Amino acid sequence: MDALWADLLPKLWPAFWTTIRLTVYSAFGSLVFGTLLTAMRVSPVGILRSLSAFYINTVRNTPLTLVIIFCSFGLYQNLGLQLASRDSSTFLVDQNFRLAVLGFILYTSCFVAESLRSGINTVHFGQAEAARSLGLSFGQTFSTIIFPQAWRAALVPLGNTLIALTKNTTIASAIGVAEASLLMKSTIEFHANELFIIFGVFAVGFIILTLPIGLIIGRAAEKMAVKK
């Protein structure tokens, strides 16, 4: 037992810090790209709606593991996509981390887009018609009238998507990103007799990360709810 803690404790925070960084960067990128996909999905331009619908339906029905592996082996090793400087001593670590973030953004943005679209469906169509009658463009209507209300209505689904993203970061270990699940696997290899303790430690770690998200989002949704 002492050997387990001596081996695990110094590595535990760096591993979960990597998980947190993966979550934060991926969440921000997914929100930006997901908002763009949403705007395309409700755009008056047919080709944009079709492209957005095709992308969302294709990627969200693809296993996340395949998306992450595609970013590593397809975009990097076959197509030469480079997201870190080769002159850096941490090139491989940085490259794998950024490829993982890219994969999470490509995947999670689909769920962000669908959450926002469900929020848009709660906005009365007459508001968009009124905006057009006042001479507002689609972009102005979307950004100043539709999107702020959709964001409020979609807050809880977006929170659930963020929680799912936090747990999905474990898949980054498939391309060698040193996040929490990779540390768990390596720890089990050397301390197989303490299997349940190791599982418990990492389960508690992820609960500590995800539980506050749900509580904060729930409280924010209550405060932002439309009073009837």
Over residues 27-66, the pLDDT tens digits come to 999 999 999 999 999 888 899 999 999 999 999 999 999 9
Handedness of CA 75, 81, 85, 87 (dihedral sign): positive
For 2-224, CATH gives 1.10.3720.10
Asked if 132 and 44 count as a contact pair (C-beta separation under 8 A), the reply is no
Q: pTM of the prediction? A: 0.89
Over residues 65-108, the pLDDT tens digits come to 999 999 999 998 888 889 888 888 889 889 999 999 999 999 99
Q: Which residues of 10-19 are buried (b: 16+ CB within 10 A; e: fewer)?
A: eebeebbebb
Is residue 176 left, alpha or beta, with left meaning phi > 0 and alpha meaning psi from -120 to 50?
left
Instruction: Give CA–CA dist 146/121, Å, rounded.
Output: 10
Kindly list the domain boundaries of the chain, sorted by start residue.
Answer: 2-224
